[in-house]
């Protein structure tokens, strides 16, 4: 089936690709391949390959990614609910690989929703350092928070604010900043007809103006010696190389940091011979050259030497004596004392309450008050009527070895589907007099909490993940 593309879009592609353009148009009439990226905090590729039909293949630029065969959609598998993998278009995995986040760093994902790239960053950080995941859209930030929660990352803060306020609040403190910018979406035309319907040259120019503004603020958040990674899922030069050039003209303290070419990558395209030679160090992914959709990304390095971060003391309160006693009772009756739970023990100085919600604050000296905070850190749970209710984020961030009572359900157990639907389940050994929180797992991987009530286990599987 031939897709009715706008004439201006056809002209631009033909100009950019020349003799290659026929290959591009042929690729647009083929079915795209989807992908998944494993959660290396929890599992490995070999395990996930066992639940997939034959035909999956490695993705050159994403060591934790797999390209799936056509018509394979593992989004309803319990392993997906357990956060063992994230469904993500293969090309979308490339920018974070180029960003190269390191454990222990302070990193900002400025336009983070729905969270695919944020979860990839968290895996590479290995629960060390801090990811600030921000999205200015109030509707999209909820999806961002949920995906981070399911991923089990402990070292993140979720913010729902605009870049200008982040600049005023933080200044240049981040080691790495990712800007996966809003764009005209030309790279997704063959998978999303809605993107075609809204496209026009005028719309592309409007996107470029938005990108210029976001990039300007992003540059003010990068510390000396730090990295800014800019990416889009579109093809035109105005929003890609053009956005980079306009940023460099306005920010002479940045330079292009070339990204090595590998299988499936193509160099950036300068406008003319007068453009900086480094512009070729940007990367394009074309669907006729790689098994992925269209993508562009460029790595920009800020001049200067990384200096010590300036710490500002947070004004957040700790935990009241009453709530600390309630939490201590929960901790001692539900969790084990392990290396992973030590950081959230009742005596931890990094625990803080905001309203009735309890968080673990990584980088507690990082000043956050005054921003629109969605999650202040690792969300542990909430206090209600002199009781403590653990969050699903806590369950996803721990392992079965950290919990006193664990329900282990194999994939073939009928109780598993009942739990995923939010229905009560029975389990051998549970008595009517028992009252406790239990961790429910699939093949040993945490899915969420259950509460023993009158000899049955009430499902506390998150509503937004329930099936059926």
Q: Are the C-beta atoms of residues 335 and 341 closer than 8 Å to each other?
A: yes
Residues annotated as catalytic (active site), given as ranges: 233
Residues 6+ apart with CB under 8 A from 104: 125, 128, 129
Q: Which of 69, 19, 62 is nearest to 262 (CA)?
A: 62
Q: Which of 258, 263, 257 is nearest to 286 (CA)?
A: 263
456 pairs with which residues across the strands?
A: 453
**Helix, strand, coil proportions of the chain in percent (round to 5)?**
35, 25, 40
Q: What is the DSSP letter of 309?
A: P
Q: What is the DSSP letter of 107?
A: E
Residue 109: Cβ-neighbour burial (10 angstroms; 0-12, 13-18, 19+): buried
Q: Which of 334, 374, 379, 371 is nearest to 353 (CA)?
A: 379
**Cα gap 121→231, rounded to integer Å:** 15
Q: Are the C-beta atoms of residues 112 and 253 closer than 8 Å to each other?
A: no
- What are the φ and ψ backbone dihedral angles of 319, each rounded to 5 degrees? -115, 135
Task: Look at residue 256 and give its three-state secondary structure.
Answer: strand
């Amino acid at each position: 089936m031939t897709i009715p593309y706008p004439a201006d879009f056809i002209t631009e592609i033909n100009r950019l690709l020349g003799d290659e353009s026929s290959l591009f148009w042929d690729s647009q009439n083929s079915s795209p391949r989807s992908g998944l990226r494993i959660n290396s905090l929890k599992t490995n590729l070999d395990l996930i390959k066992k639940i997939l039909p034959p035909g999956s293949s490695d993705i050159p630029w994403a060591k934790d990614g797999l390209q799936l065969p056509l018509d394979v959609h593992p989004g309803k598998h319990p392993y997906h609910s357990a956060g063992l993998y994230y469904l993500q278009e293969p090309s979308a995995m490339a920018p974070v690989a180029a960003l190269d986040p390191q454990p222990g760093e302070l990193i900002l994902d400025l336009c983070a929703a729905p969270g695919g790239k944020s979860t990839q960053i968290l895996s590479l950080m290995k629960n060390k350092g801090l990811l600030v995941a921000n999205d200015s859209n109030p509707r999209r930030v909820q999806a961002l928070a949920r995906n981070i929660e399911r991923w089990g990352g402990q070292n993140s803060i979720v913010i729902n604010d605009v870049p200008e306020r982040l600049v005023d609040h933080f200044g240049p403190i981040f080691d790495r900043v990712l800007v996966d910018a809003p764009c005209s979406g030309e790279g997704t035309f063959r998978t999303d007809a809605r993107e075609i319907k809204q496209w026009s040259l005028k719309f592309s120019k409007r996107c470029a103006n938005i990108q210029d503004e976001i990039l300007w603020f992003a540059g003010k958040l990068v510390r000396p010696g730090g990295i800014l990674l800019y990416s889009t899922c579109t093809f035109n030069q105005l929003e890609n190389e053009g956005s980079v050039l306009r940023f460099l003209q306005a920010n002479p303290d940045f330079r292009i940091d070339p990204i090595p070419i590998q299988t499936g990558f193509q160099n950036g395209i300068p406008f003319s011979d007068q453009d900086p030679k480094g512009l070729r160090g940007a990367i394009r992914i074309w669907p006729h050259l790689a098994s992925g959709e269209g993508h562009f990304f460029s790595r920009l390095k800020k001049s200067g030497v990384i200096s010590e971060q300036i710490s500002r003391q947070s004004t957040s309160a700790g935990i009241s004596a009453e709530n600390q006693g309630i939490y201590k009772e929960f901790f001692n009756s539900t969790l084990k004392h392990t290396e992973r739970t030590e950081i959230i023990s009742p005596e931890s100085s990094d625990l803080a309450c905001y309203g009735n919600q309890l968080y673990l604050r990584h980088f507690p000296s990082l000043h956050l008050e005054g921003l629109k905070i969605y999650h202040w850190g690792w969300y542990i749970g909430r206090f209600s009527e002199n009781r403590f209710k653990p969050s699903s984020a806590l369950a996803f961030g721990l392992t079965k070895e950290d919990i006193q009572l664990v329900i282990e359900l194999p994939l073939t157990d009928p109780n598993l589907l009942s739990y995923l639907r939010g229905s009560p389940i029975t389990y051998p050994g549970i008595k009517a007099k028992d009252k406790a929180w239990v961790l429910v797992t699939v093949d040993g991987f945490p899915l969420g909490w259950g509460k023993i009530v009158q000899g049955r286990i009430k499902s506390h599987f998150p509503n937004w993940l329930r099936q059926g």
